[in-house]
Amino acid sequence: MEQDNFEYKAPKGIASADKSINDFFGDIASYAFIALSSVAVCIIIYGAICIITAAGDEEKTEKAKKIIKMATIGLAVVLLSYGIVEILTSLL
């Protein structure tokens, strides 16, 4: 009676032995980049809506500008960190 060689392959998208550690961290960085940049864009849109609905109130306008400024800084940090991870994974 012959035994068949059984080879297990993980489904696509799941970390497995055939993926390198660089691929694994690259995937995590990609998913985090998409999620965090989406959140930042939503916060920028929220700040824009706050400016529109401020109706000339200086306090509300300044608060909305601060929201947009912080979300923009957050988006820049996300972009830079993604770039750094991509550079490091390509070098390793």
pLDDT at 18: 62
Q: Which residue has the higher pLDDT, 52 or 17?
A: 52
Phi and psi at residue 34, to the nearest 5°? -65, -45
For residue 79, being part of any structural domain is answered with yes
pLDDT higher than threshold 50 for residue 8: no
Domain count, the chain: 1
Nearest CA-CA partner of 69 in 52, 44, 45, 36: 44
Position of tokens 């401020």? Answer: 54
For residue 4, being part of any structural domain is answered with no
For residue 37, being part of any structural domain is answered with yes
Position of tokens 């961290």? Answer: 25
For residue 13, being part of any structural domain is answered with no
For residue 15, being part of any structural domain is answered with no
Could you tell me the residue range of the domain that residue 75 belongs to? 21-91
pTM assigned to the model: 0.70
For residue 25, being part of any structural domain is answered with yes
